[in-house]
Structure 1
Amino acid sequence: MRGFVLVGLIAVVAGGLVAAVTGPTGLAAGSWMAAYLVLVAGVAQAGLGVGQALLAAVPPSAPRTGRQLVLYNAAGIAVLIGTVTEAVLVVVAGGAMLFAALCHFLAAARRPRTHAWYLAVYRALLAVLGVSIPVGLVLSAVRHG
């Protein structure tokens, strides 16, 4: 859980910094990058990491969470690089990796130890992220394809 929260916090700060320099530098995709860093790389990542730690009947092993952390963040980096360089195939690869990471998170809390309201929130977060992938891919293709 700590790794996801730490990287998520770093992403939120990075998103704030990107937002601060977007106007003065004329960074075309700056506002989108800031939002992606804060919402997907930051808040969502921390929520998924905390959620699976609290919900999983058996907490995920360190190697499993390490793989999730690497996959989720490699996906985010690919999406960011693909968007900035207008490389749609890189965005598609990032979207595919993000989908794979979400599947890992879903599997980690497949048999939750509780049926409280935060299980619904966790699943809703997964669903929102899952639905946003094809939407983002289409938008990327329309903008840069």
Structure 2
Amino acid sequence: MSHSHATRERPLSPHLTIYRPPITMTTSIVHRITGGALYFGTLLVAWWLTAAAGPQDYFEFVNGIFGSWIGQLVLFGYTWALLHHLLGGIRHLIWDTGAGLEKHTASKIAWANVVGSVVLTILVWVVGYMVRGG
């Protein structure tokens, strides 16, 4: 039994290969992810502070972990997550006042969130390096 008309495939729209998520949606998702990551990072900060209050050799052990390349990478990521989440919170605070909700303005604020978090993270690390005498 043959059909007299060709079978049409159903459209898969919006498909990830053709749909570009708006920057506001992307930063909203990243804001949630960084919020979760901050829980883990804050545990690391608490570990370091607890070690600082304990025996010298234990502090040196923990400090050595944070001073390793992987420790520095984790701390760099924690710094970025903290600053990105902070700026995202400010972005939402602005929106809560009713300002910046127009699509064009909201996109600009979202991009400022992304660029600002990267620039501030680099600035924090450069200043920290300079203060330590690097």
Interval containing the TM-score (normalised by the shorter chain): 0.3 to 0.5
Between structures 1 and 2, the one with greater helix share: 1
* Length-normalised TM-score, structure 2: 0.43
Higher RCO by CA contacts (8 Å cutoff, separation 6 or greater):
2
* Length-normalised TM-score, structure 1: 0.41
